[in-house]
């Protein structure tokens, strides 16, 4: 199959590389000449483990190439994937479809034979029909079908998700388009990965419903964590206890500073707007958005409380600023709430993140960047763990504490325990949803 992938952002680049690894001929298109030049030089503009190696292998095999010329890529293609951004539209919360429709108009002018135009971007219900109308209106004689093929890639594990998916969702209107999509995904069909073929609207809705449900799980456990702190319960035990129920499952039940990233924030907002437009408010989703915002603000309070609310003049070291580990993505990261709040209160903030600096330097003005956690902790008054990178999961706490002017820790990912912190010499320790504070650790230590 010949595939044109329009857009080399996170979804487009990962999908294009993986399709080429299936054996298809893939041309990835982007309007940014600098990005195309970088890709042709073998450099990956995003951080995703294993993507650089996979990309190089398929470029060397002649199955993968990059261009800024959409017309040449679409010419003779069996399928044209639209994988451009659909950010939240400023002012109303809707998904901004301008990039999708611009791509549709350019594709219409470039089609030379039958092709399936596949929307891989996350789009509201009804968008694929708009894409079809846009192409038909711009090129009345064009021979094409449209399909919806939402992505379910987790940043940091995207290649594995693509190659070993929980499911593949394909929305089509006829058998002809379904056959093309089956040919594209044949390697996964043959390995018996679940493939769900639906109508266009159902495929579009599945993506939003899935992300909203996962965001709800995260937000629910964070709200229970706040209640655990008031009642004396332990959120780790509570999460384990409910996660063992097969109807609930243990994924996305880790208390922390709230969800972020490129998908959950914009998709929950978009779903809320879709409901409002149809006269059916998505009350659960709207509450999830509200509670997630409150969770982030509560994390700021946790850090401030280490100093009785007065952080002016204090030096605070923040470990991790990307929204999750194994990515360089800063979009909607909790750090974008926590760090500016601390700086605004007068704190001096140091930051360590294995991949976050490239985006973070513009997004977090006023911080000082370090490459090493121990150097960043020198003479600091507190350490805040915001992202659970592996290198922060196995810190030498004693070494960390001895370097600090005031050994205090806000462990907002529940990596350690008050016992660990107390034995290492920390005088203050707070976590999320646990009665796991330094005072309790001191009592335990006397018994042990």
> Is 207 annotated among the ligand-binding residues?
yes
Q: Is 435 helix (H, G, I), strand (E, B) or coil?
A: coil
Task: Find residue 368's DSSP bridge partners.
Answer: 350
DSSP characters over 29-93: E-S-HHHHHHHHTT--SS--TTHHHHHHHHHHTTSEEEES-HHHHHTT-SEEEE----PBPTTT-
Residue 255 annotated as binding? yes
Contact criterion met (CB below 8 Å) for 170 and 118? no
Give yes or no for a contact between 91 and 69, defined as CB atoms under 8 angstroms apart: no
Q: Does 24 count as an annotated binding residue?
A: no
In angstroms, the Cα distances linking 114 to 7, 75, 111, 138, 231 are 21, 10, 8, 16, 63
Classify residue 130 as exposed, middle or buried by CB count within 10 Å of its CB (0-12, 13-18, 19+).
middle
Tell whether 337 is in a known binding site.
no
According to the annotation, is 317 in a ligand binding site?
Answer: no
Query: Residue 251, annotated ligand binder?
Result: no
86 is in an annotated binding site: yes
Of the listed 18, 28, 228, 263, which one is catalytic?
263
Q: Establish whether 209 is an annotated binding residue.
A: no
Residue 199 annotated as lining a ligand binding site: no
**236 is an annotated ligand-binding site residue:** no
Q: Is 152 annotated as a binding residue?
A: yes
Q: Is 122 annotated as a binding residue?
A: yes
Two structure tokens written together for 407: 């050994």
Determine if residue 162 is labeled as part of a ligand binding site: no
DSSP states of 78-143 as a string?
SEEEE----PBPTTT--B--HHHHHHHHHHHHH--S-EEEEE-S---TTHHHHHHHHHHHH-TT--
Is 2 among the annotated ligand-binding positions?
A: no
**228 part of the active site:** no
What positions carry a catalytic annotation? 263
- Which residues are annotated binding-site positions? 30, 35, 86, 122, 152-155, 207, 252-256, 260, 266, 324, 331
- The binding site for substrate comprises 152-155, 207, 252-256, 260, 324
Binding-site residues for NAD(+), in ranges, read: 30, 35, 86, 122, 155, 266, 331
């Amino acid at each position: 199959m010949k595939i044109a992938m329009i857009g080399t952002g996170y979804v487009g680049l990962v999908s294009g590389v993986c399709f080429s690894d299936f054996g298809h001929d893939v041309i990835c298109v982007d309007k940014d000449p600098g990005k195309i030049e970088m890709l042709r030089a073998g450099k990956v503009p995003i951080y995703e483990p294993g993507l650089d190696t996979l990309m190089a292998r398929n470029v060397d095999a002649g199955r993968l190439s990059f261009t800024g010329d959409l017309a040449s890529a679409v010419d003779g293609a069996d399928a044209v994937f639209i994988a451009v951004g659909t950010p939240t539209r400023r002012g109303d919360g809707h998904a901004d479809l301008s990039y999708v429709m611009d791509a549709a108009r350019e594709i219409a002018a470039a089609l030379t034979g039958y092709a399936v135009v596949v929307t891989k971007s996350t789009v509201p219900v009804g968008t694929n029909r708009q894409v079809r109308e846009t192409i038909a209106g711009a090129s009345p004689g064009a021979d094409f079908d449209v399909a919806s093929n939402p992505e379910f890639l987790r940043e940091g594990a995207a290649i594995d998700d693509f190659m070993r998916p929980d499911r593949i969702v394909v929305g089509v209107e006829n058998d002809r388009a379904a056959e093309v999509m089956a040919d594209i995904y044949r390697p996964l069909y043959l390995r018996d990965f679940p493939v769900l073929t639906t109508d266009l609207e159902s495929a579009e809705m599945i993506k939003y419903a899935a992300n909203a449900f996962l965001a709800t799980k995260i937000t629910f456990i964070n709200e229970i964590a706040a209640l655990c702190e008031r009642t004396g319960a332990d959120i780790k035990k509570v999460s384990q206890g409910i996660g063992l129920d097969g109807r609930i499952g243990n994924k996305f039940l880790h208390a922390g500073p709230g969800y972020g990233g490129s998908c959950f924030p914009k998709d929950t907002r978009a779903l809320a707007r879709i409901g409002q437009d149809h006269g059916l408010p998505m009350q659960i989703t709207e509450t999830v958005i509200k509670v997630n915002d409150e969770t982030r603000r509560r994390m700021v309070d946790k850090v401030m409380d280490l100093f009785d609310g007065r952080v002016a003049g204090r030096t605070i070291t923040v470990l991790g600023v990307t929204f999750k580990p194994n990515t360089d993505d800063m979009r909607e990261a909790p750090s974008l709430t926590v760090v500016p709040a601390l700086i605004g209160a007068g704190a001096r903030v140091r930051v360590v993140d294995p991949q976050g600096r490239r985006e973070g330097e513009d997004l977090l003005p006023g911080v000082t960047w370090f490459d090493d956690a121990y150097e960043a902790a020198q003479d600091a008054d507190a350490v805040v763990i915001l992202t659970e990178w592996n290198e922060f999961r196995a810190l030498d706490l004693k070494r960390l504490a001895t370097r600090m002017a005031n050994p205090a820790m806000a462990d907002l990912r529940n990596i350690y325990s008050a016992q660990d912190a107390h034995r290492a010499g920390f005088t203050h320790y707070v976590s999320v949803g646990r009665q796991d504070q330094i005072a309790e650790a001191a009592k335990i230590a006397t018994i042990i």
